[in-house]
Structure 1
């Protein structure tokens, strides 16, 4: 199995033989001892022959690729079986965080492929919403939809690339802190505390040969 944009390897399955491709030498250096072998490279120039892998994966990484179309075409070229992608639908609206930071909507529209792009680039795909549990242990952007205080923690925000790319976050976070203190957030969004899992825009895209 090929993992493209593999980062530190956090999402790699433990019961498969995996080869990782990651552009950042810093990320590769942070991979755990015993992790899958990794090479430094980019999605649009995969150094493998046609149909080399049984399957390929890319998890929350496509928005970082300079040439998304070329990267997905390359994944299709080197993969004889399914390609599994976890990504975000930029047409999604509904997470309360964008009420404070509408810049996130514009950012996603600019950096995320539209859902229709995947079939154009890879052929037929299935697209399934991925519900995020209320106690999700990962640190991606909307993982804390039921834990708003987490967005006030700079350590947590450091792991969210979207916060690196937008202006005005400090003012918005000050408003969030005030709303949490005076009860405004609870009045507006308190109903979320009764939900175990929520669709906040993440999508599983699967392309099969």
Structure 2
């Protein structure tokens, strides 16, 4: 399933739930440092693009490109696999919640490293300690996610490919961006069709797994079992659910 095909299929309502979360944006902006020119790869609808510097976007999906607002950066058709730029053409290259869709993440990251002096990637640690066991949604309701990760590089392998450091990014409980882990303290949100359609994991896991997960989560919310299992989360303002910044 290609990057473009997936979001041309499910991306029509993306902006209904997916938008810039200011606290995460601040982390990305800080990581970009003093970069004056920025390439945003897998740019989607333009969330997290810094407004105070020159940005050029690259996005393979026509549906996603069509939802970019008029004030967003100019956007080219393309993907991380082969960037049509000279070595070191940009001060920085960034990618936000996109690497997990790339057919060859290692090669894509090396392309970012080739065209930019600095690389900033916002992604997931999908290992068991980082995501599968830590996040209650994958652990208790959607174990099929583990099958989607077979053969995919670990966060350590991604970082090593470009000589990046790894920084955890806690998710605020009231996160404005509706990515997969965003509603860790608001489980009722996962019962909403529009929330699930803004997250590719549900489509990749399949309709049967989605129906079962939603049914079981609804039952556990009604019975109080979810709250009992996850009582340690209820008082937290932010939680580490495996989101990471790679900075090289």
- The question of a shared fold, defined as TM-score above 0.5 by the shorter chain, is answered with yes
CA contact (8 A) 1:131 1:200 kept: yes
Match of 1:33 among 70, 85, 95: 70
Instruction: Report whether the alignment pairs 1:9 with 2:50.
Output: no
* Match of residue 186, structure 2, among 131, 143, 147: 147
Deviation at 1:206, TM superposition (A): 0.4
CA distance in 1 between counterparts of 2:165 and 2:243 reads 14
In structure 1, runs of 5+ residues without a counterpart are none
Report the alpha carbon displacement of residue 111 of structure 1 after superposing the two structures with TM.
7.0
Tell me the distance in 1 between the aligned counterparts of 2:79 and 2:168: 27
Name which of 170, 179, 188 aligns with 2:220.
179
Aligned to 1:89: 125
1:101, 1:139 → 2: CA distance? 17
Distance 1:179 1:71, change over 3 A: same
Q: What is the alpha-carbon distance in structure 1 between the residues aligned to residue 212 and residue 193 of structure 2?
A: 14
What is the RMSD computed on CA atoms of the aligned residues? 1.3
The answer as to whether partners of 2:105 and 2:158 remain within 8 angstroms in 1 is no
Which of the residues 138, 163, 167 maps onto 2:202? 163
Alpha-carbon distance in structure 1 between the residues aligned to 2:165 and 2:186: 31
- The 1:162/1:24 distance shift into structure 2, 3 A limit, reads same
1:121 alignment partner in structure 2 = 161
In 2, Cα distance between equivalents of 1:103 and 1:76? 32
Distance 2:160 2:182 in 1: 29
Unmatched segments (≥5 aa) in structure 2: 1-37
Moved more, 49-58 or 189-198: 189-198
The DSSP-based 3-state class of the residue aligned with 2:54 is coil
Give the total of aligned pairs: 204
| Alpha-carbon distance, 1:73 to partner | 1.2
Return the TM-score normalized by structure 1.
0.93
